[in-house]
Copies of this chain bind each other. A is one copy, B any other.
């Protein structure tokens, strides 16, 4: 192992000067710098990050805890966050929480073991009742739709507005009886209930009286759950001409289910999702969706975290940022 000492010896300078060169500090004569760089090259020197971390107390790494990296939405999110982090010279460690409240808390605890300078935590298991557990003296940023005005910076999607715009789009295209495929309604605040709110606002604004049978609750936001939601609607006589799905993954399953039942889309039923994941432009029919601007969310989350890490943020004040969105009209809504 080649150390700074070795380089210093080879270059005929002190270890401190080598350190100054490595960290691109000023007050190093060009000729000295050249000598050092040459020695580093010759010896194939590499910094020992562990030693630097120990000394500085910083790791140059942030954690990202997501439910499942192999879900398209989280893949897109993770890619965007890595890109945003790279722009700040930060590495990203991805942890999977498998949608469990416990694992999300574990991620928080583990992270505090000084492994990362901060943590971006995408919560789906933790709910509003757990907000106090997030009151930690450690830089974190929350992503997700379940905890608002909590004790941490938070970036959320434009759930209400986006959902409302999506349903208004279905109405504009001619739908009048619009189903919503959404999450477990027993949870008090989650991505579903906010999107449900937007859904109802859109109906109300159009003077459409909401009917209970339009609601199809599902247990998880998966492809299979989408298929089963259609089955449920079919059992109720498929008395709808529009379906708003809580995520694109669910919507893709819904498209599949509608195909199973031979129901034309958008001919008989219009469909729209939420997230605008890459695959949505290529389903058959292609899926209309709400694009929440993943890059904006990623950039904002990383920026907020860096502010905390660098101590440039008021410990008592926490930001709640909601991103922009746009409705992407494709075949499934007759767009």
User: Which A residues have a C-beta under 8 Å from some C-beta of B?
Assistant: 46-51, 53-54, 57, 59, 61, 68-72, 74-76, 78-79, 82-83, 91-96, 112-115, 223, 226-227, 252-253, 255-256, 259, 278-279, 281-286
Contacts and interface: CB of A to CB of B under 8 A. Distances in A.
Given A54-B54, A114-B49, A70 B61 contact: no
B46 A278 contact: no
Contacts of A281: 223
A51 B49 contact: no
Contact of A227 (B61, B256, B282): B282
A50 B114 contact: yes
9 contacts: A48-B114, A70-B78, A71-B75, A82-B94, A223-B282, A252-B279, A256-B282, A256-B283, A256-B286
B61 A69 contact: no
Smallest CB-CB A-B distances: 4 pairs: A50-B53, A70-B79, A70-B75, A75-B75
A284 B282 contact: no
B76 A70 contact: yes
Nearest to A51: B54
Contacts of A46: 112-114
Nearest to A52: B50
Given A69-B69, A227-B282, A282-B252, A82 B96 contact: yes
A223 B79 CA distance: 18
Nearest to A68: B79
A42 B214 CA distance: 53
A112 B68 CA distance: 28
Nearest to A60: B115
A297 B204 CA distance: 52
A203 to B, nearest CB: 28
Nearest to A61: B93
A12 to B, nearest CB: 25
Contacts of A53: 50, 53-54
Contacts of A49: 113-115
Contacts of A92: 93-94
